[in-house]
Chain A
Amino acid sequence: MKLLHKDIEKDNAGQVTLVPDEAEDMWHTYNLLQVGDSLRASTIRKVQTESSTGSVGSSRVRTTLTLCVETIDFDSQACQLRVKGTNIQENQYVKMGAYHTIELELNRKFTLAKKVWDSVVLDRIEQACDPAQKADVAAVVMQEGLANIVLVTPAMTLLRAKVEVTIPRKRKGSCAQHEKALERFYEAVMQGILRHINFDVVKCVLVGSPGFVKDQFISHLFKEAVRQDNKVLLENRPKFMLVHSSSGHKYSLKEILSDPAVTSRLSDTKAAGEVKALEDFYKMLQHEPDRAFYGLAHVEKASDALAIDILLISDQLFRHQEVATRSRYVRLVDSVRDNGGTVRIFSSLHVSGEQLNQLSGVAAILRFPIAGLSEAEEEDSDSD
């Protein structure tokens, strides 16, 4: 993402102009937008014209519109963002108050105006525009009969393909079916890799599985690559990296990303950092339960006591459309930062973020134990 222009007043109202240049930027934009903001972008509008004779014709016109945002839709698979709203700046084609849906496009600038720019959104812009934070990693998590091909970017984990093949068990006296099905399975995974992984962008392909599936697969992959003379695979052979994981399901990606060999090679990507932070939280919960809190009410209490060392919070909470609720989270983040704590905003598209979402979306590791809070608060947390 490129930041072209930023104009924010003292009272935090203002506007920014941004140019998204990759799919992930749509995700960032999705997190910036809120109902009630105004968005100006170039878009295509179908316009009906009536000639003097009364015949009606319609044509598609590219025009720039400014909308007051009403609905935001994000398609995480295609990385497309659609924003629906009413027109607030009349032009020759579109009347005031007419509805329109803008589908934001890559490499076209848009301007976003908000009444209040809070710290979380500003951070998000900064993060999105940071060119250093780019390490595209592909991962193939597999077990016998199941493979998930995913793309891991700093802010997103995108499931690109899921291969499921029923593999007959070995039976007494006949393993032919088993082996044939395995072959078919490897072939399907290989096709998935070729189709979904762009080796120009991806810097590393992690192959994780329990047992020997990964080794078997890699040897099959390159044997086939040699046989088919597939240049792409052969050239990118050094990018493949084998890691152990306990299963082929998507959540095992967490194990792969926390593998020391991977973290050293990926030089602490955001995804890996999140996994680590969540793990720390669980460790703390195990050893000193009074220093690990989760649930908004508890964490706020801890924050009031200036006890929060690390705050883990999911970005899903900031997409809350109610201003009061959202500002409650923003206040929490600000107060932790002001008091010297660290804030880690998890992407809800990552596996670790998904888990944090389940865990009420907010958790904290404290500097010192606060005992008894969990007992007293029990009634409160009952409500959710």
Chain B
Amino acid sequence: MTMTSAPKRAERTAHAHLPRQHGGHRVTRVGPEPRGETDPDRNPPGGRERPRTRTCPGTGTSAATTTTKTLRTMTCTDSQWTMTIASLQLRLHSSSTRGRRRRWSRWRRRSSRSRTRPPPLLSSATLTRWTRDVCTPVWTRCGPCSGTRLPDSVLTQAAVRCDFDPQRALDAVLSGEDAPPPHAQEQPLPQRQQRGRVRESSQAQLETEVLPKVARMTVSGKKQTMGFEVPSNEENGVPSPSVRRAPSPDVVSVTMTPETPSKLLGGADEAPPPATPRPAGSNKNQLNVREELEKRQGGKPLLNLVVIGHVDAGKSTLMGHLLYLLGNVNKRMMHKYEQEAKKAGKASFAFAWVLDETGEERDRGVTMDVGMTKFETNSKVVTLMDAPGHKDFIPNMITGAAQADVAVLVVDASRGEFEAGFEAGGQTREHGLLVRSLGVTQLAVAVNKMDQVNWQQERFQEIVSKLGHFLKQAGFKDSDVSYVPTSGLSGENLTTRSSVPELTSWYKAPCLLEQIDSFRPPQRSLEQPFRLCVSDVFKDQGSGFCVTGKIEAGFIQTGDRVLAMPPNETCTVKGITLHDEPLDWAASGDHVTLSVTGMDIIKINVGCIFCDPKEPIKVCSRFRARILLFNIELPVTQGFPVLLHYQTVSEPATIRKLVSVLHKSSGEVLKKKPKCLTKGQNAVVEIQTQRPVALELYKDYKELGRFMLRYVGSTIAAGVVTEIKDFFLSPAPRLSRS
């Protein structure tokens, strides 16, 4: 739509509303013929429908109609207009069946205020009269061309008000047109009317509000029944972005209103909340999530913490001891663990058993899966995830780290051990890079087993300098990394500052717990639609089953319906548990267990994403991404098989195309279609997964747009999703020859 449209429309209006001024009957034609529908008046009554259809302005050839035609394209496409009229007339004529008539009258009642019922059987003359008397006002009010019948002044005013932005001016006029034209335009639509006009699904309602003319166009569209499926693309001249994806500012506000109370909108917006789209618990929607979130847990913000480090650095022991000192593990249990550990000949593992609970983990003395628990500090509630350090369990570690906000990196201070973990092949580096790539920015380094080196300051400094250099390279800010000397086994410097003289002589800084306490809580994205990544699925007592995962965005209440992707199944949330306590609602950042019903457990596996059914996550098997290659042995070519780790999913994938190599810092294209990618390069590639996965673009959701690529047991790249190539809802089986 161009800038010129507003004046043009005004000009057209001058002609167009003439007939109306002349009263309701046979019009003395003054200006150029305003509409096609008056055309048939001149035809002999014998040639009814067909000629009528044909002489509609879309196909008409007179100079006058051509002008109207060009003018009219400003608001709607001509063919649709033609169709509208044609179909109206056809339907009117043939509406002998009751259903049709009912539909027709419903349509009329809804879209206009005309009180006349269309006569059941129409002669040409009545039809003509009816068309003129009834339809014209209808179109005036509800048709996309309604502007044509609005007085000049209204349009001009609107244009002026909207800074001559034709699109907005048009919107203003059209959205205001239900109320008496000149006065009511600035006022928001009264709620009742809105509801009366559209009782479709809330989604549709959303669209009506945003693209008013689209919806109204459809009401009088060729289908004539209700429904909003006429693509809006043609209307706007631009391919209309799907309403949910690229929201214009007003879309956002509309979407948000039902979910976020007025406080979020700054109180400045007096728009009444539109009819509630939430099926259940709508009265609870008034809940102010942000306020509630602050109140919850005694005002302590929630922090997701992952503990990482090389195998046998003492992660589990350190955390187990910390939990014990905090009183989260009672004495009796601890005593039991000690006895059992002693019996098994691994007395030093007793504290690790707090977190390593499976028989296999205890037998082998290695954490295999992420252990999860919580503890409280002075100012925070911490969800603790104890990641496995063994090379083979990095996939598990990634699922843990993907859900974390902050991390504690544990390194072994003893001679040789630190070096083993830090050199190539050790997990210290890989874990460090992984958590950074997964969005963790704050890190505490616990230099563990300091008692074995007699709390030497030199050793501590040596490790700090080596690690500091590496962490800086990895992208951590110096100010966000802190170093704490600890001993997991003896429990020094964990919850209280140490009293060991060797340490206190040179170390005055806070202990580990204080460091954890001083982490800044992350921003929670409450405004975005709900997303939860499933990290565990299990059966519990009662009906349905339970899923565990971190809410990445938005919030959820009991009774909500959620959609699981990629299986594309909906279910109802029956209960929410956070840290084993039942809740009514949970919000972004919480690590919750949802018990759901209405879905088969076998359809859900780890890696599914639960989302808002109205704003589903995209599902695709091919996407484009920007990746940063780590220190890799083999170059990456096209066809390279990789394992894609995305949130809790791990899915085999291949790199289908090497699109370009980018400059590391500026991001400009260095080379298109490279032959291969080597270490340290920044590149754009296309990735194809074996089965569809649910993904979000990095620009939409930072946390949900990140992924890692691994190959033969080592992480080769970190990446962000930039473009989704194909996306579909249900996975289609692919058949290939050979």
Which residue of A is nearest B548, CB measured? A169
Q: In the complex, identify which listed stretch (A51-59, A61-69, A193-201, A354-362) lies at the interface while the others stay far away.
A: A354-362
Could you tell me the distance between the alpha carbons of A172 and B374 in the complex, rounded to whole angstroms?
A: 10
Pick the contact of A170: B369, B639, B678 (CB < 8 A).
B369
Could you tell me the distance between the alpha carbons of A171 and B656 in the complex, rounded to whole angstroms?
A: 38
Pick the contact of B635: A285, A349, A382 (CB < 8 A).
A285
- Is B639 touching A216 in the complex (CB atoms < 8 A)? no
Q: Which of A199-224 contact B (CB under 8 A)?
A: 210-212, 216
Known A172-B373, A316-B738; contact A355-B392, beta-carbon cutoff 8 A? no
Known A247-B650, A285-B637; contact A175-B357, beta-carbon cutoff 8 A? yes
Could you tell me the distance between the alpha carbons of A332 and B602 in the complex, rounded to whole angstroms?
A: 51
- Is A356 touching B639 in the complex (CB atoms < 8 A)? yes
CB contacts (< 8 Å) of A378 on chain B: these are 672-673
B652 at the binding interface (Cβ < 8 Å): yes
Could you tell me the distance between the alpha carbons of A180 and B650 in the complex, rounded to whole angstroms?
A: 23
- Is B537 touching A357 in the complex (CB atoms < 8 A)? no
A251 at the binding interface (Cβ < 8 Å): yes
Q: Which of A53-110 contact B (CB under 8 A)?
A: 73-74, 76
- Is B675 touching A374 in the complex (CB atoms < 8 A)? yes
- Is A247 touching B395 in the complex (CB atoms < 8 A)? yes
- Is A175 touching B713 in the complex (CB atoms < 8 A)? no
B358 at the binding interface (Cβ < 8 Å): yes
CB contacts (< 8 Å) of B710 on chain A: these are 246
B459 at the binding interface (Cβ < 8 Å): no
Known A286-B678, A319-B738, A358-B638; contact A179-B358, beta-carbon cutoff 8 A? yes
Q: Which of B618-651 contact A (CB under 8 A)?
A: 633-635, 637-641, 643, 650
Which residue of A is nearest B656, CB measured? A358
- Is B638 touching A359 in the complex (CB atoms < 8 A)? yes
B605 at the binding interface (Cβ < 8 Å): yes
Could you tell me the distance between the alpha carbons of A255 and B639 in the complex, rounded to whole angstroms?
A: 17
A168 at the binding interface (Cβ < 8 Å): yes
Pick the contact of A249: B358, B640, B652, B676 (CB < 8 A).
B652
A348 at the binding interface (Cβ < 8 Å): yes
CB contacts (< 8 Å) of A285 on chain B: these are 634-635, 637, 675-676
Which residue of A is nearest B679, CB measured? A286
Pick the contact of A255: B656, B676, B712 (CB < 8 A).
B712
- Choose among B633, B654, B675 the residue with the greatest number of A CB atoms under 10 Å from its CB: B675
- Is A250 touching B652 in the complex (CB atoms < 8 A)? yes
- Choose among A168, A348, A357, A381 the residue with the greatest number of B CB atoms under 10 Å from its CB: A168
Pick the contact of B634: A169, A178, A286, A358 (CB < 8 A).
A286
A282 at the binding interface (Cβ < 8 Å): yes
Which residue of A is nearest B710, CB measured? A246
A239 at the binding interface (Cβ < 8 Å): no
Could you tell me the distance between the alpha carbons of A251 and B689 in the complex, rounded to whole angstroms?
A: 13
Q: Which of A367-384 contact B (CB under 8 A)?
A: 374, 378, 381-382
CB contacts (< 8 Å) of A252 on chain B: these are 712
CB contacts (< 8 Å) of B49 on chain A: these are none
Which residue of B is nearest A319, CB measured? B738
Could you tell me the distance between the alpha carbons of A172 and B370 in the complex, rounded to whole angstroms?
A: 11
- Is A282 touching B713 in the complex (CB atoms < 8 A)? no
Closest Cβ of chain A to B259, distance in Å, is: 30
- Is A175 touching B358 in the complex (CB atoms < 8 A)? yes
Could you tell me the distance between the alpha carbons of A359 and B639 in the complex, rounded to whole angstroms?
A: 5
B371 at the binding interface (Cβ < 8 Å): yes
Which residue of A is nearest B675, CB measured? A374
A177 at the binding interface (Cβ < 8 Å): yes
- Is A76 touching B738 in the complex (CB atoms < 8 A)? yes
- Interface size of B by Cβ–Cβ distance < 8 Å? 51
A289 at the binding interface (Cβ < 8 Å): yes
- Is A349 touching B641 in the complex (CB atoms < 8 A)? no
CB contacts (< 8 Å) of A175 on chain B: these are 357-359
CB contacts (< 8 Å) of A247 on chain B: these are 395, 643, 650, 713
Q: Contact flags (1/0) for B651-690 with A, using CB distance below 8 Å?
A: 0101010000000000000001101101000000000000
CB contacts (< 8 Å) of A244 on chain B: these are 392
Which residue of A is nearest B688, CB measured? A358
Closest Cβ of chain B to A64, distance in Å, is: 28
Pick the contact of B738: A170, A216, A348 (CB < 8 A).
A348
CB contacts (< 8 Å) of A178 on chain B: these are 358
Pick the contact of B370: A168, A169, A246 (CB < 8 A).
A169
Could you tell me the distance between the alpha carbons of A359 and B654 in the complex, rounded to whole angstroms?
A: 11
Pick the contact of B643: A30, A169, A249 (CB < 8 A).
A249
A166 at the binding interface (Cβ < 8 Å): yes
Which residue of B is nearest A258, CB measured? B712
Could you tell me the distance between the alpha carbons of A38 and B361 in the complex, rounded to whole angstroms?
A: 63
- Is A359 touching B393 in the complex (CB atoms < 8 A)? no
Closest Cβ of chain B to A97, distance in Å, is: 27
Pick the contact of A246: B580, B602, B656, B712 (CB < 8 A).
B712
Known A74-B738, A348-B738; contact A212-B360, beta-carbon cutoff 8 A? yes
Known A170-B369, A177-B539, A247-B395; contact A286-B640, beta-carbon cutoff 8 A? no
- Is B536 touching A211 in the complex (CB atoms < 8 A)? no
- Choose among B357, B392, B604 the residue with the greatest number of A CB atoms under 10 Å from its CB: B392
Q: Contact flags (1/0) for A219-261 with B, using CB distance below 8 Å?
A: 0000000000000000000000000101101111011000000
CB contacts (< 8 Å) of B122 on chain A: these are none
B535 at the binding interface (Cβ < 8 Å): yes
Could you tell me the distance between the alpha carbons of A283 and B635 in the complex, rounded to whole angstroms?
A: 8
Pick the contact of A381: B535, B673, B712, B737 (CB < 8 A).
B673
- Is B634 touching A283 in the complex (CB atoms < 8 A)? yes
- Is B634 touching A282 in the complex (CB atoms < 8 A)? yes
Pick the contact of A211: B393, B539, B548, B605 (CB < 8 A).
B393
B364 at the binding interface (Cβ < 8 Å): yes
A186 at the binding interface (Cβ < 8 Å): no
Could you tell me the distance between the alpha carbons of A74 and B735 in the complex, rounded to whole angstroms?
A: 12
CB contacts (< 8 Å) of A254 on chain B: these are 712
A185 at the binding interface (Cβ < 8 Å): no
A346 at the binding interface (Cβ < 8 Å): no
Which residue of B is nearest A359, CB measured? B639
CB contacts (< 8 Å) of B539 on chain A: these are 168, 177
Could you tell me the distance between the alpha carbons of A73 and B736 in the complex, rounded to whole angstroms?
A: 11
B101 at the binding interface (Cβ < 8 Å): no
CB contacts (< 8 Å) of A168 on chain B: these are 536-539
Closest Cβ of chain A to B375, distance in Å, is: 12
B293 at the binding interface (Cβ < 8 Å): no
B368 at the binding interface (Cβ < 8 Å): yes
Could you tell me the distance between the alpha carbons of A257 and B361 in the complex, rounded to whole angstroms?
A: 29
CB contacts (< 8 Å) of A30 on chain B: these are 738
Which residue of B is nearest A31, CB measured? B738
CB contacts (< 8 Å) of B641 on chain A: these are 251, 351, 354-355, 358
Could you tell me the distance between the alpha carbons of A289 and B634 in the complex, rounded to whole angstroms?
A: 11
B372 at the binding interface (Cβ < 8 Å): yes
Closest Cβ of chain A to B737, distance in Å, is: 7
CB contacts (< 8 Å) of B713 on chain A: these are 210, 246-247, 255
Could you tell me the distance between the alpha carbons of A354 and B738 in the complex, rounded to whole angstroms?
A: 11
Pick the contact of B372: A172, A246, A249, A382 (CB < 8 A).
A172
Could you tell me the distance between the alpha carbons of A254 and B642 in the complex, rounded to whole angstroms?
A: 12
CB contacts (< 8 Å) of A294 on chain B: these are 637, 675
**23 A–B contacts, CB within 8 A, in A order:** A30-B738, A166-B537, A166-B605, A170-B371, A173-B357, A177-B538, A177-B539, A179-B359, A211-B392, A211-B393, A247-B395, A247-B650, A249-B643, A250-B652, A251-B652, A279-B634, A286-B635, A316-B738, A351-B641, A355-B639, A356-B639, A359-B637, A378-B673
Q: Report, nearest first, the 3 A-B pairs whose CB atoms are least far apart.
A: A358-B639, A246-B713, A168-B538
Q: A residues engaging B (CB < 8 A)?
A: 30, 73-74, 76, 164, 166, 168-173, 175, 177-179, 210-212, 216, 244, 246-247, 249-252, 254-255, 279, 282-283, 285-286, 289, 294, 316, 319, 348-349, 351, 354-360, 374, 378, 381-382
With A166-B604, A178-B358, A358-B654 known, 19 other A-B pairs at CB within 8 A are A73-B737, A169-B370, A169-B538, A169-B548, A171-B536, A173-B357, A175-B359, A210-B713, A211-B368, A246-B712, A251-B652, A254-B712, A282-B635, A286-B635, A289-B675, A355-B639, A355-B654, A357-B639, A359-B637
